[in-house]
A and B are shown apart, each in its own frame.
Chain A
Amino acid sequence: MASHNVVGAVLVAGGGVAGMQAALDLANAGYYVYMVEKSLAIGGRMSQLDKTFPTNDCSMCIISPKLVEVGRHINVELLTLTDILSINGTEGNFTVTVRKNPRYIDMSKCIACGECTKKCPSKVSNNYNENLDNRKAIYVQYAQAVPLKYGIDAEKCLKLTKGKCGSCKKVCPADAVNYDDKPEEATFKVGSVILAPGFAPYKPSDFETYRYSDSKDVITALEFERYLGATGPTMGEVVRPSDGHHPTKMAFLQCVGSRDINRADNGYCSSVCCMYAIKEALIAKEHSGGKLDVSIFYMDIRTFGKDFERYYEKAKAAGIKFIRSRVHTVRPEPKNGVKIGYVGDGGVASEDYFDLAVLSHGLVITPDTKALSENLGIQTDHYNFAKTSTFAPVALSRPGFYGCGVYTGPKDIPSSVMEASAAAAAATSKLTPARSTLTKVINVPAPVDVTGEPPRVGVFVCRCGINIASVVDVEKVVEFAKTLPFVEYAAVTMFACSQDSQEKIVSLIKEYRLNRIVVSACSPRTHEPLFQETLAAAGLNKYLYEMANIRNHDSWVHANNPVEATRKAMDMTEMAVAKAALLVPLKENVIDVDPTALVIGGGVAGLNAALTLSSQGFKSVIVEKEQRSGGNANRIHSTTKGEDVAKYLESLKNKVLDDPKITLVLGSEVDKVEGYVGNFATTLTTGETVKHGVTIIATGAKEHKPTEYLYGQNNKVVTQLEFDEMIKSDDDAVRNSKTFVFVQCVGSREPERMYCSKVCCGHTAHTAVELKKKNPGARIFVLYRDMRTYAQKEDLYKEARDLGVIFVRYTLENKPKFSEADGKIKVEILDPVSGLRLLINPDMAILAAAIVSGRETELAMKYKVPLDEDGWFFEAHQKLRPVDFATDGMFLAGIAHYPKPMDEVIAQAQAAAARAVTVLTQPKMTVGGIVAEINQAKCSGCGVCVAVCPFSAISLDEKGKSVVNEAMCKGCGNCASSCRSDAPSLRGFTNAGLFAQIASAL
């Protein structure tokens, strides 16, 4: 493949959260993105969630800015209702053929007013709400959908099926309905492909035990999620479906369709169900005012992620009951509810009544996705997940193809987002010669300087077809607007957002020399960027714009009161004019970006981050405090997939050493830090100063030194890492031992370390299997609290049991007792299943010691980034920004963030690099616009603004006065409202502007 042939575009298949993240990272790094989505709109499964664990963030609130960003991105081409037919060619140069299925709506005309839906006579079961209520045959997928355009369900539409009706076309004010729409094929070229087709929840219909098909009061977790959701069928009210009453007692049944090869063929753990069940239980309990009685029936609770264990503890404290047992019978009661039969600890059979049973169903690959993999020649595992290796966690079997999200294995949102960024980096590692060759830029004329001119406000009042005009007397609003101070021009438009209206606004701005524009129409959340572009096209600074939302906040909600709605529209227009008159042009400045990264930590994460950056063409400096690189991986024998870590590490280190773009500084640490995104200057303890545009923190963590189980007293008691080193060196002690005891959770999941170290269970299961394979006669005991072999690692757990490894559970209150006699170890443990006390005399005991953070307080302070209470570096957002810090230009990778296995470490390192590239790829960064500024004459230097700024954007200068770094300010205005003397001001939302709005509101 000649590099000059590579194409600077990437196909992203799937518009869920993973696909969206990949698309944004690609587009922001200089690649054109084709995003193919099967359904009407992007958003994927996450758009169906009410809240997200473990922060209970509102799912829609956090995803919707991303939806909008993807929808508006000039370099993301959204192909909805589209199927991939074929992808031919080779890495760097593929030809994609797709079929665009008909929407029957002209997207360029549809204004999403919803008149069509009101008139449509066909009721269709609503799959967004898991078919718990109905929608119409003409519909939007969900209210916040992107693109916000209607579509017709061809199978249910009377016109398309029977040739009757046609109401929607009649009522559409924009003439957008087109019954003659046909499928179209299209081809385009891309350099690589990212597959993120997602999953479907397991359908428990044919699972007779659980009576999902014939009992109304047995529902799935996703159905329950929709009941909890404010936009769900009951608008957030928790009900028992059989009679609509509030349940008083409910149960969650875990592992439905997961960890089950008898009925479901899904041997893997779905990784997310324990957490979502706890989340749904907590929220349902909250909705009921704490009265609801909730039980969760489980096999192992797998709360292995960051802050998950505390979430579990919180649920227990809130009174949620956790019952370890597998349910054997669900029996619907005559009227409502179900009886659940189960066998608990000690073999005691019980039965209990519940108003509602929720099945925590797993994540499965759909037949469509399976067919896609086959069609594209992607190798999959026996569960149909795409195959990947630990060391290239997002690379698929076919060169040039990358995968992320649940497509490569069950995982939660942050892991999917990390992989998405990683895939963006990996997918473009060979495309750098074509970077920025296919991307578009918006060319706008240089803005006219209006400084000093008196305001000349133009007001455009939109009819929005009949959406506004049928309620609000728009003519009256215009006449009123003409009487307002500074208004030079006011007029009605049919659709302010239509192409012809936009052109007219441009010419009117010139004709009347308008220098402030007010549009009274719909929501600035959806339309402000569009009108700002119009201003820019007319040569006006785009910030000289204000909007009055007389549709969403007025005509649509006061349809029964046209008089008051008109009065309100007048007030809202007056408020907008009052604010607009005080607006000033806002400058956007450019700052230089030093295209170099500083990577702190030379472990697997740091080395991978640097190599990924190098493949993107960027230099980096790695600082490692030890005298050798590789970190903890130097001690690890093999991965859970059986790959040799030493071999990998050697090649990794060599690649780094051979790479001219990477400088590795050993035996050094960060001493002094200056600067900010684009322009950091970090001085190392070796004395040299590194200039860099971004920083990646990958400082790792360490193994806890156990203080129990004879560790340090008997040399046959070792930690997991020590044992790995012994295996690596083929130590006699291992070879000569016959009986091994593995103890899990040594120092983890205890009050002083209330988190799961995530890697130990998988590693133990893997090691036990290896030992057994080498020496079938070995007696191996694993003493555990909950086995947390999540995702496909569950296979290892099963394999270990099949090979005869004995797993014995213990509780925190009843830990195994270790004693020593004549140098021999004696282990005593109570088996909760049989109730018997077991005595084991192991030759070796291996302790799964906790992973503990380095608690890098000083480093954190130097770069103004936070640590959490366990000392892990704290990312900007646990769900959607897992590798970013809130402070711009700062990124995070590896186990400095939280313990995780090597594949996830590598994915995170690639992700951090991908995020860093979005900064480094811009030679100049635009800063400014709506940011804070300080009037130093008013500043007392008290430091309140410095303390309340969430982005560390304010500091005190040498005079002791506050100063804002525009590159870091996000425009929240916390500073402006916290200062007693109003020294900070938020541009675009000044005190004067807001006062003018308040005054004209009254």
Chain B
Amino acid sequence: MSDFEPKIVAFFCNWCTYGAADLAGVSRLDYPPNFRVVRLPCTGRLNPKFIMEAFKRGADGVWISGCHPGDCHYIAGNYHARRKFVLMHQLLESIGVDPNRLRFSWISSAEANKFQAMARDVVEHVKACGPNTTFRKEDLKLGLAEVA
């Protein structure tokens, strides 16, 4: 399993965690290249369906990160998001999705080091889960056909 390189989809809010990732770049803080970032204006924009879509298409992990509670650029977006996260986290864990595949974090735009540490941690945990064979479509091509 050691040569398994997971594919992770990350959803970052523009104002905090995306900024932290920018700052990590400026500070040349390296981390594993396993995730791809979808930039959202706010974690409040994260529809739980996006998480399902990523897993359905074969993501080995999903990482969602935004501003700390109280720091939201849109005043309350992450407070509303937090309630959705609680439900999604609990529901997926309850039906047996390994919680290590799904990470939620708050990283401010100043926390480049936290970003680096979290990125490493996410990848490490998803790696430990192994490839996602159970919580995805059996035929991934079918999924793509639907988009086109």
Contacts and interface: CB of A to CB of B under 8 A. Distances in A.
- Do the two chains touch directly in the complex (Cβ atoms below 8 Å apart)? yes
A977 B47 contact: yes
Contact of A572 (B19, B36, B72, B143): B36
Contact of B47 (A554, A561, A565, A976): A976
Interface string A22-63: 000000000000000000000000000010000111111110
Nearest to A563: B33
Given A974-B42, A977-B46, A61 B110 contact: yes
A79 B87 CA distance: 51
Among B16, B71, B80, chain A packs the most CB atoms within 10 A around the CB of B80
A-B CB proximity, top 6 nearest? A552-B25, A973-B45, A972-B74, A1001-B36, A974-B44, A556-B25
Most buried by B among A526, A551, A552, A553: A553
B11 to A, nearest CB: 9
Given A950-B76, A976-B45, A60 B27 contact: no
A886 interface: yes
Contact of B28 (A59, A559, A567, A951): A559
Interface residues of B, number: 62
Interface residues of A, number: 67
A994 interface: yes
Contact of A55 (B42, B70, B80, B140): B70
A229 interface: yes
A62 B74 CA distance: 11
B35 to A, nearest CB: 8
Nearest to A552: B25
Contact of B70 (A56, A556, A559, A971): A56
Interface string A428-450: 00000000000000000000000
B44 to A, nearest CB: 4
Interface of A: 50, 55-62, 64-65, 114, 143-144, 229-231, 235-236, 523-526, 549, 551-554, 556-561, 564-565, 567-568, 571-572, 575, 876-877, 886, 930, 948, 950-951, 970-974, 976-978, 986, 989, 991, 994-999, 1001-1002
Contact of A58 (B44, B71, B80): B71
B30 A61 contact: no
B33 A568 contact: yes
B24 A61 contact: no
B113 A995 contact: no
B110 A977 contact: no
Interface string B60-77: 000000011011111111
Given A55-B70, A564-B33, A565-B33, A1002 B19 contact: no
Given A571-B36, A995-B147, 4 more contacts: A55-B70, A561-B33, A568-B33, A994-B50
Nearest to A524: B39
Interface in B102-145: 108-114, 140, 143-144
5 contacts: A229-B110, A557-B31, A567-B33, A998-B57, A1002-B36
A553 B45 contact: no
A970 B42 CA distance: 11
B8 to A, nearest CB: 9
Interface of B: 7, 9, 14-16, 18-19, 21-31, 33, 36-42, 44-50, 53-54, 57-59, 67-68, 70-77, 80-81, 84, 108-114, 140, 143-144, 147
A263 B33 CA distance: 57
Contacts of B75: 876-877, 886, 950-951
B38 A997 contact: yes
B40 to A, nearest CB: 6
Contacts of A564: 33
A235 B23 CA distance: 13
A971 B45 CA distance: 9
A983 to B, nearest CB: 13
Nearest to B115: A230
A211 B5 CA distance: 55
A143 B19 contact: no
Contact of B113 (A59, A230, A567, A877): A230
